Amino acid sequence: MLIQKTLMVFILLGLHHFCVFPQNNEQRIKVSGDIELVKLSKSAYVHISWSEIAGFGRVQSNGLIFSNGKEAFLFDTPVTESQTRDLVTWIRDSLKLKIVGFAPNHWHSDCMGGLGYLQSQGIESYACQKTVNIARSKNLPVPAHGFKDSLQLHLGNQLIDLYYFGAAHSLDNIVVWIPSERILFAGCMVKSLNSKDLGNTADDDLIAYPKTIDKLLTKFPSAKIVIPGHGEFGGMELIRHTRKLMDN
């Protein structure tokens, strides 16, 4: 009887762990008809938005919010300025956070489509210099501060590391590493486990891509949460899965 009771306790604990897994629908916070948040910790949220993207239909895109005290950084915006306004307004009014900085993963609209709105609100922006150059050449809103290989930002006493490891999904894609949370926001260069291929390869560098992914595997073995640009987040298995897709 004691063994049976002990076994039942472990089963219940296992079910409880499964039910509170962050991507469970009950843990999602609805911001609008097109935007949701998933709370990762007291300091971090994934923001998820849906938009129509030409050639792909209605697409889910991911971004990251990282806060410390009453301030926060935003990583990637929804596709449109109106969605970005809705997200920033909700963060301000419901989470009581002030967005003080922004960094896009790369130049595509599912990363910085809302940059113009952020700039209208006086929010500082940081990006790979390649992103700055591409945005300028395409007459897009241009991030204010560029970096070459890496940039360390401070949010109060917390660190945020931006890295450019090379071309992959785009020539300018970066990753965001939050050391205190062991969160890697890898963006579109990393694919969800449901992905059967590399998706949109119009701006890929398929020769450099494997080398860039290998650098992630080497640099971030301690990553607890890995967030792709689209689809469900997870752990290091997403990076390994992306690497395997290149061998198919």
* Per-residue pLDDT reduced to its tens digit, 147-175: 999 999 999 999 999 999 999 999 999 99
Per-residue pLDDT tens over the stretch 17-27: 333 344 544 47
Q: Is residue 111 part of a domain?
A: yes
Q: Please state the domain count of the chain.
A: 1
Alpha-helical (H) ranges within the chain are 2-19, 81-94, 109-112, 115-120, 129-137, 209-219, 237-245
Q: Is residue 10 part of a domain?
A: no
Degrees to nearest 5, angle at CA 117 with 82 and 225 = 80
Residue 238 DSSP SS3: helix
- CA distances (Å), origin 209, targets 12, 139, 150, 246: 43, 27, 18, 8
Per-residue pLDDT tens over the stretch 211-224: 999 999 999 999 99
The arithmetic mean of pLDDT across residues 124-128, rounded, is: 98
- pLDDT for 112 beyond 80: yes
Within a 10 A sphere around the Cβ of 90, how many other Cβ atoms? 18
Instruction: Check which CATH number belongs to the domain holding 206 and give it.
Output: 3.60.15.10
Q: Is residue 48 part of a domain?
A: yes
Q: d(Cα 240, Cα 188) in Å, to the nearest integer? A: 14
Which tokens in the block code for residue 182? 């062991």
Q: Is residue 15 part of a domain?
A: no
- pLDDT for 195 beyond 60: yes
User: What is the extent of the structural domain holding 210?
Assistant: 31-245
Q: d(Cα 179, Cα 158) in Å, to the nearest integer? A: 8
Q: Which residues are catalytic, by number? A: 106, 108, 110, 169, 188, 191, 200, 230
Predicted confidence at residue 4, as pLDDT, reads 42
78: CB partners within 8 A, 6+ apart: 34, 35, 47, 49, 51, 61, 63, 84, 87, 110, 113, 114
Which tokens in the block code for residue 124? 């500082």
Residue 152 DSSP SS3: strand
Q: Is residue 188 part of a domain?
A: yes
Q: d(Cα 83, Cα 63) in Å, to the nearest integer? A: 13
Q: Is residue 5 part of a domain?
A: no
Q: Is residue 80 part of a domain?
A: yes
The arithmetic mean of pLDDT across residues 178-193, rounded, is: 97
pTM for the structure as a whole: 0.88
Per-residue pLDDT tens over the stretch 20-64: 344 544 478 999 999 999 999 999 999 999 988 777 778 899 999
Q: What average pLDDT is seen over the chain?
A: 90
Q: Is residue 146 part of a domain?
A: yes
